Amino acid sequence: MINRFAALLSLLFLAIPAQAQDAQPLGTMTPITIGTSYSFRSEVLDAERTINVWLPASYAENPERLYPVLYVIDGGAEQDFHHISGLAQHGAISRTFDEMIVVGIETESRLLELTSPASDPRYPDYMEPNGGAADFRRFIRDEVIPRIAANYRVSDEAALIGESLAGLFVVETLLRAPDLFTSYIAISPSLWWDQASLVTDAAALMSQEGHQAGNRRLYLTMANEGGTMQSGLETLLAALESEAPATLRWTYVARQDSEHHGSIYHIAALDALRVLYGHAERTGSPSDATWLFEGEVPPLSEMALTSIASECNAETAIRTSLAEINHDPARWRGVCVSVKLGPERPTAGNMDQPGTDEPVTP
């Protein structure tokens, strides 16, 4: 019996992988902190609510600097906060667009918080609860934005971003409360809600007095949605083309042939941040060491020498494309340029685009 037991133990020991037998500790464990989460009692919503904040690394290093803020609807830790703050971190380390503070506003009942009351009786019958967008917008205006402004160094530039029902909320906020943000990013907005009543009223809403003051920007895109999502979009585009005030610069990028509802958000958000907050930059490597194995360092062209004499910024940058630069890289080396990154090009709108000489003609 003892021999059988010893044999069984030997078999069990042999079954344990070698790496488990020789396992070594990975080292000292330190959690990675992505951001800070705040919970507080909302008087507007009469409920405990949560917001999440991400700061660029430079925030602590520049005590006098003010930062734009990107407010993310559906910005909970298990929603869209992490992947959007990740884009902001990418922009900071790549220097391809402005550094910014990201504020994620968590939603708890999306249909309630992101829609206005439906006039079509079929919606309340099948989609309850709904219709609380006005209260949620007041919560953002009266409680979230003041808290951020009181505790962080923020500039006058603030953007609102959302996808699907959150995109509907973004469009409605632009139309009904245009002074709340300076930039709006609506990705595959659920314009079907209440038989597209919001966009049916879009032209009339944009003619109201509040739309005539202050400069604002809108980035709009739609995936392969079809149905009343697409027809609602077409109604909104028609209203923008005919009634958009001179103070609104807008752009629309069609993604019906490249993205679906589940795939569009991240890639469209990156493009939106590049378009709205993109940086001018000098072409070529800043170091002559990159030519070490290529032979003699080429001299700078006359265009480059003229460019280098000035600071590189949005006003001094030459609008071009990577294709044009790659056609004659030696000529462009060191030139301050503004380039539209990514494969997508705007389909409609009046917003000046990086890498183009003229705004898009609808």
Per-residue pLDDT tens listing for the chain (362 residues): 555 555 555 554 555 555 555 778 889 999 999 999 999 999 999 999 999 999 999 999 999 999 999 999 999 999 999 999 999 999 999 999 999 999 999 999 999 999 999 887 777 666 778 899 999 999 999 999 999 999 999 999 999 999 999 999 999 999 999 999 999 999 999 999 999 999 999 999 999 878 877 899 999 999 999 899 999 999 999 999 999 999 999 999 999 989 999 999 999 999 999 999 998 887 765 455 555 555 677 788 888 888 888 888 888 888 888 888 888 888 888 888 888 787 777 888 888 766 554 443 33
Write down the H helix ranges in 280-336.
302-308, 322-327, 329-332
Residues 121 and 63 in one domain: yes
Q: Are 99 and 56 in contact (CB under 8 A)?
A: yes
Given the structure tokens 């919503």, which residue do they identify? 45
Residues 232 and 331 in one domain: no
- Separation between Cα atoms, residue 118 and residue 123, nearest integer Å: 6
Q: 336: exposed, middle or buried (C-beta count within 10 Å: 0-12, 13-18, 19+)?
A: buried
Residues 294 and 161 in one domain: no
CATH label of the domain that carries residue 250: 3.40.50.1820
- Separation between Cα atoms, residue 91 and residue 105, nearest integer Å: 21
Domain total of the chain: 2
Q: Are 205 and 241 in contact (CB under 8 A)?
A: no
Residue 141 is assigned to a structural domain of this protein? yes
Residue 18 is assigned to a structural domain of this protein? no
* Tokens coding 73: 């609807």
H or E element: which one contains 307? helix 302-308
Residues 118 and 136 in one domain: yes
* Tokens coding 240: 């923008």
Residues 154 and 269 in one domain: yes
Given the structure tokens 């080429």, which residue do they identify? 298
Residues 51 and 157 in one domain: yes
Instruction: Give the three-state DSSP class for 278.
Output: strand
Q: Which domain holds residue 187?
A: 36-277
Residues 273 and 285 in one domain: no
Residues 144 and 287 in one domain: no
Instruction: Give the three-state DSSP class for 123.
Output: helix
Residue among 197, 191, 268 at smallest CA distance from 227: 191
Residues 105 and 235 in one domain: yes
Residues in contact with 288: Cβ distance below 8 Å, sequence separation at least 6, in sequence order: 297
Residues 118 and 57 in one domain: yes
Residues 112 and 237 in one domain: yes
Final residue before a domain boundary, out of 277, 292, 318:
277
